[in-house]
Structure 1
């Protein structure tokens, strides 16, 4: 867990209060000069506070115990440009006591396997960003601090980074991301905070220039990250017709066709709870905006007919529940 209580750094941050729980991915949105990078540096113990406290997993930020829990990445901290991708990652692994097989797995996970022996100064910005994330993850930290992980890079790299960071949060990590407002990061965030002039502010208060309460957060539209082949895509709820579970995997039907997701069906149902989705069957979740009619084939056999003519299973007790919901 990350707990920031009254953090103040003269001329940079004022009375920052924020708690991030395990399993949360919190995005802090701010323009250049808003204090985002200073906040990250304070969280990892590189900048001592003038007031307030910062703890990571119950330990003071910057302490040996706190640092052992943290993985962090920022373009400002850089990579070793004259070393190769593998040499960089392996160096971080050795410094953190991480096994080589985890480093190798991260290369593949972040689509860097084919760039293993390329020097960092010959990477594209997107490849370098993916390598920074791999280095932050190599020791399997419980807390992640990321400063603009998807800024000014190609769309495919940004989507893969957002997808990977979301997976880490789903696995129970505590994740805090600083961003100018990248839609892919915001799409997978569980909460969004706004940092302006060194203060956390509400969206409404930002327009008026007024400070907000310590809990200045809001929930974003719950985009869903998915894979189709080697591509990582983000979908808005209204783009998903239905989702289903099959062979221990979950898939969504989208304008791009069938895509796999890392959520369980129950997790996806919770994420889309406010977006008009209905659990029509133990293995199906359907967007009611796409439903044309309820078809009763026999006394105990039902289906939902979608507007494109496709059928989705509807169990008997769910049929009754749906009728009550539609008539209520």
Structure 2
């Protein structure tokens, strides 16, 4: 298992890589200090949750100021259009909601043409459309050579961005992975998890499939049609149903074998998705794909590049 003893050693050891860390605010501030020291001679842009802009400035004047300050040829009007800020360009920043303020900050960062971007909780305030715009900008900037270091987000969000997602345990930073590795490899599927259609059951026998989960001391049984997606995070597997997550003792390999005939697909080594719930497949760059679901939260989950062709072939997408 790839790990580092601290967030400082992670940033130093992965200095030419995009890293995305699920961590607390104090760890974020330690990471910020490390980035400032390590990259002090490079062009950096920073965005913390406490960065709310100048309340009395309009969006346009604020971005023009930072465009001039950057010394680049970046155009504030282009950034306004790119980040969907045209409807609020003349509005005072103090009148914006949290999502709009976040987009102003991303626009501000883009104007600096940064070599290094440090962002705290990058997707936290964003709805589906704004999230797509932001992920596209991160993916495209990363392909042009910008390094991204993000902190504070849940691991699910970290997995959506180019680079490696990390989680913390007793101050150690551990690279995110599942217990079985990539979707095209890993352990053999136990006999108990094989598709019931391959068993010795009578042809007319009704096969009832329920996914067993726990909520506190209560055991829950979910019909596959209720499930939006399944994810593996921090060595545990969770079933997402109507916006709530429930832990299951089943492995992803077992769940994949059990649910494939119900229209589920292993879209990433850490995710199984109910394809009936997929509303949109987005490609940000040639190596970056995500799925947006039609659940209540409009969840976004990663689609591995190596799984795109299989998904299109099996489901006609």
The TM-score, its normalising length taken from structure 1, stands at 0.53
Q: Which residue, out of 114, 118, 125, partners 2:91?
A: 118
Runs of 5+ consecutive residues of structure 2 not aligned to the other structure: 178-233, 235-265, 290-302
Q: Tell me the residue number matched to 1:128.
A: 101
The offset of 1:121, in angstroms, is 0.8
Q: Tell me the residue number matched to 1:26.
A: 19
Query: Does residue 256 of structure 1 match 2:256?
Result: no
Q: Tell me the residue number matched to 1:158.
A: 131
Mapped contact 2:21–2:155 kept (Cα < 8 A)? no
- Which whole-Å deviations, capped at 9, do the CAs of 1:208-264 have from their partners, x for residues lacking one? xxxxxxxxxx9xxxxxxxxxxxxxxxx9567799xxxxxxxxxxxx9436x663323
Mapped contact 2:11–2:34 kept (Cα < 8 A)? no
Distance 1:112 1:182, change over 3 A: farther
Q: Tell me the residue number matched to 1:174.
A: 147
Please list, as runs of the form range in 1=range in 2, the aligned pairs for 1:139-218 lying within 5 A after superposition: 139-181=112-154, 183-196=156-169, 198-201=171-174
Please list, as runs of the form range in 1=range in 2, the aligned pairs for 1:218-297 lying within 5 A after superposition: 236=267, 255-256=278-279, 261-264=283-286, 272=304, 274-275=306-307, 286-287=309-310, 291=313
Distance 1:273 1:81, change over 3 A: closer
Count of matched residue pairs? 210
Within 2, Cα distance between the matches of 1:90 and 1:147?
Answer: 23
SS in structure 1 at match of 2:68: helix
The offset of 1:109, in angstroms, is 0.8
Q: Which residue, out of 33, 47, 50, partners 1:73?
A: 47
Q: Tell me the residue number matched to 1:82.
A: 56
The offset of 1:196, in angstroms, is 4.9
The offset of 1:76, in angstroms, is 1.9
CA RMSD after TM alignment: 3.6
Distance 1:267 1:153, change over 3 A: closer
Mapped contact 2:8–2:31 kept (Cα < 8 A)? no
Within 1, Cα distance between the matches of 2:130 and 2:49?
Answer: 15
Within 2, Cα distance between the matches of 1:41 and 1:78?
Answer: 20
SS in structure 1 at match of 2:94: helix
Distance 1:87 1:124, change over 3 A: same
Q: Tell me the residue number matched to 2:209.
A: none
The TM-score, its normalising length taken from structure 2, stands at 0.55
Q: Tell me the residue number matched to 1:40.
A: 32
SS in structure 2 at match of 1:72: strand
Higher fraction of strand: 1
- Which whole-Å deviations, capped at 9, do the CAs of 1:97-155 have from their partners, x for residues lacking one? 133x5221111111011211111111110110011111111021121111112224434
Within 1, Cα distance between the matches of 2:18 and 2:315?
Answer: 35
Runs of 5+ consecutive residues of structure 1 not aligned to the other structure: 8-12, 46-53, 205-217, 219-234, 242-253, 278-285, 292-305, 311-328
Mapped contact 1:142–1:174 kept (Cα < 8 A)? yes
Within 2, Cα distance between the matches of 1:71 and 1:188?
Answer: 17
